């Protein structure tokens, strides 16, 4: 049986995955902000007789301090983690900054995944078939990245923020595989296709209309699970793989450029150094550590 951590496991694809793996006998940790959804997961686990294998960690993963707090708790409670799944995202039609002064999409959709992957690599290395499953939108070209304005201060659009976030996660996969591939950890990027989930977000009227149209065409959540389950149960042999709706795409094409991945990693490390050195002025006080005992 595996230990699976699902960031964004309280709703949508992450929630369905959490329920499936709990039913299958795994230990499942879900992370999200909404305590009601978290309690529903724990209640369902109770019904299943699996309460001792179910954990809910309330956290806003858009905040660096919250990521650090959750990572510390996970490392303390789970010396070995088999599977790490990224499903957290939140669409915003208007550009918004976190209390720590970072653009929300960049912080949640990319930076949190960066911190979690590298921050739990030691725990993953201890597993028999360790895998990171990054559910995002692999495959776009590098043109969607605004290298001189990664936090989209100029000309923000919610769709562009999501598109760039997907590309940054592709490049994160490339640099993660370079750094940790020889430790046996597999990194799998998965585009689930348009799926009927909560599409959590704050939408303007125009985008709301588009979302309603997408929802009408979208596949059920259960149809998005098989490629994710396949990656968990039989991680690919390659350090990095990418799939769009279950079909493998090449990670040798230009969208997975190693130079671009190193450039992004350097920019990210610099940003994190700057943030950690900076006084936490406007940031909220970190909540107390989570007791997972």
Ligand X SMILES: NC(=O)c1ccc[n+]([C@@H]2O[C@H](COP(=O)([O-])OP(=O)(O)OC[C@H]3O[C@@H](n4cnc5c(N)ncnc54)[C@H](OP(=O)(O)O)[C@@H]3O)[C@@H](O)[C@H]2O)c1
Residues in contact with ligand X by CB under 6 A are 8-14, 32-34, 37, 59-62, 87-90, 108, 135-137, 191-192, 194-195, 197-200, 218
Whether the Cβ atoms of residue 93 and residue 202 lie closer than 8 Å to each other: yes
Sign of CA dihedral 11, 195, 251, 169: negative
Three-class DSSP category at 134: strand
Least distance (Å) between residue 20 CB and ligand X = 14
Shortest Cβ 31–ligand X spacing (Å): 6
Shortest CA distance to 27 belongs to which of 54, 6, 7, 57?
54
Shortest distance (Å) from residue 139 CB to ligand X:
11
CA distance 121 to 130: 9
Tokens 């042999």 belong to which residue? 237
∠ CA(99), CA(104), CA(110), 5° rounding? 125
Cβ atoms of 81 and 120 within 8 Å: the answer is yes
In the complex, the smallest distance separating the C-beta of residue 26 from ligand X, rounded to whole angstroms, is 18
CB-side exposure of 5: number of CA atoms within 13 Å?
28
Cβ-based nearer residue to ligand X, 9 or 158: 9
Which H or E element spans position 178?
helix 158-180
In degrees and rounded to multiples of 5, residue 19 shows phi and psi of -65, -45
Give the residue with the Cβ less far from ligand X, 27 or 105. 105
Which residue's CB is nearer to ligand X, number 62 or number 158?
62
Comparison of 247 and 273: residue with beta carbon closer to ligand X: 247
Place of tokens 């390659």: 238
The residue among 37 and 179 lying less far from ligand X, judged by its C-beta, is 37
Tell me how far, at minimum, the Cβ of 76 lies from ligand X, in Å: 20
CB of 136 to ligand X, least distance (A): 5
**CB nearer to ligand X: pick between 259 and 284:** 284
């Amino acid at each position: 049986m595996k230990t699976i951590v699902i960031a964004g496991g309280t709703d949508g694809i992450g929630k369905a995955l959490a329920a499936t793996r709990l039913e299958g006998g795994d230990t499942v940790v879900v992370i999200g902000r909404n305590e009601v959804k978290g309690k529903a997961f724990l209640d369902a686990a109770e019904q299943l007789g699996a309460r001792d294998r179910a954990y809910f960690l309330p956290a806003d993963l858009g905040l660096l301090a919250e990521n650090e707090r959750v990572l510390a708790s996970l490392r303390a409670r789970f010396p070995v983690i088999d599977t790490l799944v990224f499903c957290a995202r939140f669409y915003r039609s208007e550009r918004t900054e976190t209390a720590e002064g970072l653009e929300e999409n960049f912080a949640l959709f990319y930076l949190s995944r960066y911190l979690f992957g590298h921050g739990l690599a030691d725990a993953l290395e201890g597993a028999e078939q360790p895998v990171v499953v990054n559910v995002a939108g692999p495959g776009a070209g590098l043109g969607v990245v605004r290298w001189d304005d990664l936090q989209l201060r100029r000309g923000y659009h919610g769709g562009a923020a999501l598109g760039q976030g997907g590309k940054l996660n592709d490049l994160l996969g490339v640099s993660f595989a370079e750094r940790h591939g020889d430790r046996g950890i597999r990194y799998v990027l998965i585009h689930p296709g348009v799926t009927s989930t909560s599409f959590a977000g704050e939408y303007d009227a125009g985008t709301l209309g588009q979302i309603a149209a997408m929802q009408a065409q979208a596949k059920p959540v259960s149809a998005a699970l098989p490629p994710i389950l396949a990656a968990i149960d039989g991680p690919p042999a390659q350090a990095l793989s990418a799939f769009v709706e279950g079909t493998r795409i090449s990670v040798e094409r230009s969208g997975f450029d190693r130079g671009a991945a190193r450039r992004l990693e350097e920019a990210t490390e610099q940003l994190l150094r700057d943030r950690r050195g900076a006084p936490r002025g406007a940031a909220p006080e970190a909540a107390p550590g989570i007791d997972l005992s």
